[in-house]
Structure 1
Amino acid sequence: MTTSIRRAAAFAAVGTVALVGSVLVAGVAALFAAIGALALVVDDGVVFDLFARPSDRSEGRLRGLAAFSFATAGLAMLVIVVDLPTRVFVAAVCLLVYGNLVEQVARSWSNTAITATAGFTVGGFVAAFAAQVVVLTVSDAPIDSMIPILIFLAASGALLAGLLRSVLFERDDPLVMFSVALLLWLFADLTVTVTPLEVAIAIAVTVGFGYISWALDAASVTGMLTGVLLALLTIVLGGYPWFAVLISFFALGALSTKFRYEQKRENGVAEANEGARGGGNVLGNAAVALFAVLAFAASDRLPVANTVFLFAFAGSIATAMSDTLSSEIGGVFDNPRLITTLKRVEPGTDGGVTWQGELAGALGAIVVAVIAVTLFGTIGPLGGIVIAMAGIGGMTVDSLLGATIEGERIGNQSVNFLATLSGALLGAGLSLLVGLPA
């Protein structure tokens, strides 16, 4: 057994104590606070050797154990003070420590990023699900009817944790744990109706698409995790028609990125990493859509018809599709013009457009509109026109932002976010303006 596996196993053993929170939360909070305090004074011996990370050895203190213990104590206090569900608290702690343990075991077989990520997410998922079952069993709460939501929460938490772990350092584990707890708290508070078969199919479909995107070099590991998480939430909180709209962007966007890639590389406009999309790129294009899905799921608590969030979702995806196709198709043509002045600029200039790219972008928005009209019976032809207009309008906003503020002040991912936000607002606003059915 390697040192990394022993250390992860030791953290898992400590984290398992959180299960006692099922019956005595205050005691767990006090215990973890005490462990954190003791960790700061232990500087040698068996305990130090067992828990010390490389950075701890250089500092002579178990800062990693202390930070984890204090963070766990803080989460336990949230159970007491603001009614954080106990099962969410326990699930977040167990997900992190057992995810780390399985990751280290997986690394002993193959030290590749995909193996480590798979180990963490699978281990974290199993631990989070089991922890919730234990808490409900101890409290004599009904379990059978809650199995689907328990699986959904465990999968969502594991994917988020895996995503954060792929971009953060080991010392940031307390942040990962808190983020997972807050996400699961949000979802636990929503009314989610799903069967065991439906959630199993949702996980299988999204993981399958995610793996294919990674295997085809359409997404990095981080981009894959981000896409899988977004897709899972879209299916469970929205439905398969929502997923079809979302996946159309991922699929056509990936294909357009590969279109004449070498030529775009020569022109200096090709995506980095052979076109593999990273997590920041995926979030920049789909974060607004995710917010629209969450708002749709919580629409019974909001003073807005849920149809508005559907048009916001479709408008943001139409914008992402339109902008991606415009950039990727237009990038193979010479002599772009700056959208604000129509003067010729060098290929790759922010805000530079070509008529071929604009046409491709408009067609991309229309594709999203047609899919939405076909799959959503409430949208209709007028709704399709609204979605297409929102996508084209958002694409134009993206080009205008690129020509005016992108560069030193704001990056491409931020511009993508603002553009998709404008497309969502256009979609929602136009649907209200023309009086589309609620």
Structure 2
Amino acid sequence: MTAPVRRASVFAVLCTLSLAVPLFGPRVAGGIAALLLVGAFVLTDGPLFELLAYPGDYEDGRLYGLLTFVLAGVALGLLAVGTEMSTAVFVGTVFLVGYGNLGEQAARLRTDDDVARVTAFSIAGAIAGVVGQAATVAVTEPAPVAAVEGSLPEIVFLAASGALLAALLRDVLLLYDAPIVMLSVGLLLWLLAELEPALGAVEIVAALAVTMALGYVSYALETASAAGMLTGVLLGLLTIVLGGYGWFVVLISFFGIGGLATKFRYERKRDLGVAEDNGGARGSGNVLGNAAVALAAVLGYAASSATLLPGDPDPTLFLFAFAGSVATAMSDTLSSEIGSVFETTRLITTLEPVEPGTDGGVTWQGEVAGLAGAAIVAGISLWLFPAVDAAGAAIIVAAGFVGMTVDSLLGATIEGTLLGNQGVNFLATLSGAVVAALLVISFAALG
């Protein structure tokens, strides 16, 4: 057993101590945490220090990794006992991070493949998250078996979502940023638990299987990096569970068609210097830049359906905001990926000829492709959602076209100075979502 695996094993055991909160109460758990914190300061050398130390701990002779890990657990524990955060969410999060890390370190002994290690973390973390939550429910409820069975769908959903987010954060952050991962996952699961997903355990597992399969296909086809794949799978799972399969079809249409558009005449785009890096494989930043607003709309829809938002807004507004943001992302992607192969590019603000790939440059071919992209999203929405009629489809097309135009205007004015590409994508999709929602409100007021 290598040193990283031994260290991960010890940290996993320490994570198991989080069960002290539901078993013995916060005071006993606080005493255990205090002992661990004292130990992190007292141990400066020796076999136990060697066992627990991360590479960066040796310079100062302090167990900073253990210290920050315990402090993150204490912060989550305080939220669990001092607010409405569920104790089961707290324990499940700590289990997930600790045992997920152990699964990944064990996988490192056998393979250097990134996807294999990410998969090992996700599976081990999800299983541990389920066990931690179920154990907490079992020891805190008077009828443990019935309570666990009734909570199982939510437990599975939270564990899977948390494992995917943790794996993504570990991929984009440093390997030793477990405290940040733990806090981020705990806060996300706290939010998701409040939304009370209505799907059963079988449906949630099926949703996870569908999104993971499509995510792996995107990775295998080199339209997404490992981090991009994780981001897409997490977004897909949240979209299915909190919105429905119709929402997922709209979202996956963008990822699928957008990925293929990236590969369209890729050699030509590479010769022109306008091709996406990494062979067109999109990373987590690109995925989030295009889909963060859509995810916010899904969360807003779920929150409004559960009457958690002030003023009880109509959930349909979030549906149109979602479709408007995806239509913008589709329009912008098709416009840039198809339009960039033509050498008749003009700057949108002055219509002066510019080099292909110039920020804010447009072609008439790209504009047509972008309009077609918005029409695709509108057509799918018209087919899948009863709330979207012909007028609603026209609103989605208009929102997509406006969002695409905003993207070009921002590219011509502030991209590269105030904002990067992901920031521009985010603001463009936000504008598409806002335009769609405002048009729905305006039509409702007129009618």
| TM-score above 0.5 | yes
Write the distance in 2 (CA, Å) between the matches of 1:66 and 1:272. Answer: 39
- Assess if the C-alpha contact under 8 Å between 1:321 and 1:361 holds in 2: yes
Name structure 1 gaps, 5 residues minimum: none
Higher deviation after alignment, 415-424 or 12-21: 12-21
SS of alignment partner, residue 112 of structure 2: coil
Write the distance in 2 (CA, Å) between the matches of 1:28 and 1:89. Answer: 13
> Where does residue 22 of structure 2 map in the other structure?
22
1:340 aligns with 2:349: yes
- Superposition pairs of residues 216-231 of structure 1, within 5 angstroms: 216-231=221-236
CA-CA distance at 1:32 after TM superposition: 1.4
CA-CA distance at 1:58 after TM superposition: 2.6
- Superposition pairs of residues 173-188 of structure 1, within 5 angstroms: 173-188=178-193
Give the counterpart letter for 1:84 in structure 2: M
- Assess if the C-alpha contact under 8 Å between 2:348 and 2:362 holds in 1: yes
Give the counterpart letter for 1:344 in structure 2: P
> Where does residue 364 of structure 2 map in the other structure?
355
SS of alignment partner, residue 5 of structure 1: helix
Structure 1 residues 48, 161: closer, same or farther in 2, change over 3 A?
same
Selected match of 2:262 from 245, 257, 261: 257
Write the distance in 2 (CA, Å) between the matches of 1:398 and 1:34. Answer: 54
Higher deviation after alignment, 299-308 or 254-263: 299-308
Residues 110-152 of structure 1: CA distance to partner in whole angstroms, max 9, x if unpaired?
0221111111111110000010110011112511121111100
CA-CA distance at 1:436 after TM superposition: 8.7
Selected match of 2:220 from 212, 215, 218: 215
- Assess if the C-alpha contact under 8 Å between 1:33 and 1:73 holds in 2: no
Write the distance in 2 (CA, Å) between the matches of 1:373 and 1:30. Answer: 58
Write the distance in 2 (CA, Å) between the matches of 1:15 and 1:51. Answer: 14
Write the distance in 1 (CA, Å) between the matches of 2:8 and 2:446. Answer: 54
Structure 1 residues 348, 136: closer, same or farther in 2, change over 3 A?
same
- Superposition pairs of residues 113-192 of structure 1, within 5 angstroms: 113-140=114-141, 141=144, 142-192=147-197
CA-CA distance at 1:73 after TM superposition: 1.6
Write the distance in 2 (CA, Å) between the matches of 1:69 and 1:197. Answer: 35
> Where does residue 54 of structure 2 map in the other structure?
53
1:327 aligns with 2:336: yes
SS of alignment partner, residue 435 of structure 1: helix
Give the counterpart letter for 1:112 in structure 2: D
- Superposition pairs of residues 38-437 of structure 1, within 5 angstroms: 38-140=39-141, 141=144, 142-299=147-304, 300-302=307-309, 303=311, 304-435=313-444
Give the counterpart letter for 1:14 in structure 2: L
Write the distance in 2 (CA, Å) between the matches of 1:62 and 1:52. Answer: 6
Give the counterpart letter for 2:103 in structure 1: V
TM-score by length of 2: 0.96
Write the distance in 1 (CA, Å) between the matches of 2:202 and 2:5. Answer: 35
CA-CA distance at 1:240 after TM superposition: 0.5
Write the distance in 1 (CA, Å) between the matches of 2:267 and 2:292. Answer: 29
- Assess if the C-alpha contact under 8 Å between 1:64 and 1:171 holds in 2: yes
Write the distance in 2 (CA, Å) between the matches of 1:391 and 1:205. Answer: 27
CA-CA distance at 1:197 after TM superposition: 1.8
CA-CA distance at 1:173 after TM superposition: 1.0
SS of alignment partner, residue 298 of structure 1: helix
- Assess if the C-alpha contact under 8 Å between 1:285 and 1:416 holds in 2: yes
Give the counterpart letter for 1:51 in structure 2: L
TM-score by length of 1: 0.98
CA-CA distance at 1:76 after TM superposition: 1.3
Residues 89-117 of structure 1: CA distance to partner in whole angstroms, max 9, x if unpaired?
10111111100000000111102211111
> Where does residue 7 of structure 1 map in the other structure?
7
Write the distance in 2 (CA, Å) between the matches of 1:361 and 1:316. Answer: 13
Give the counterpart letter for 1:21 in structure 2: V
Write the distance in 2 (CA, Å) between the matches of 1:74 and 1:437. Answer: 50
- Assess if the C-alpha contact under 8 Å between 2:290 and 2:429 holds in 1: yes
CA-CA distance at 1:338 after TM superposition: 0.2
- Assess if the C-alpha contact under 8 Å between 1:33 and 1:70 holds in 2: no
CA-CA distance at 1:37 after TM superposition: 2.5
Write the distance in 2 (CA, Å) between the matches of 1:244 and 1:307. Answer: 17
Write the distance in 2 (CA, Å) between the matches of 1:400 and 1:432. Answer: 26
Write the distance in 2 (CA, Å) between the matches of 1:180 and 1:241. Answer: 27
1:36 aligns with 2:37: yes
- Assess if the C-alpha contact under 8 Å between 1:362 and 1:388 holds in 2: yes
SS of alignment partner, residue 434 of structure 1: helix
Residues 276-329 of structure 1: CA distance to partner in whole angstroms, max 9, x if unpaired?
000000000000000000000010223210000000000000000000000000
- Assess if the C-alpha contact under 8 Å between 2:154 and 2:196 holds in 1: no
Give the counterpart letter for 1:382 in structure 2: A
Write the distance in 2 (CA, Å) between the matches of 1:336 and 1:36. Answer: 61
- Assess if the C-alpha contact under 8 Å between 2:81 and 2:87 holds in 1: no
* Runs of 4 or more consecutive aligned structure 1 residues displaced over 6 Å after TM superposition: none
Residues 356-388 of structure 1: CA distance to partner in whole angstroms, max 9, x if unpaired?
000000000000000000000111111000000
Percent of aligned positions with the same letter in both sequences? Answer: 54
Aligned positions, number: 438
- Assess if the C-alpha contact under 8 Å between 1:25 and 1:79 holds in 2: no
Structure 1 residues 177, 189: closer, same or farther in 2, change over 3 A?
same
CA-CA distance at 1:55 after TM superposition: 1.0
- Assess if the C-alpha contact under 8 Å between 1:36 and 1:67 holds in 2: no
Give the counterpart letter for 2:373 in structure 1: G
CA-CA distance at 1:40 after TM superposition: 1.9
Write the distance in 1 (CA, Å) between the matches of 2:405 and 2:119. Answer: 39
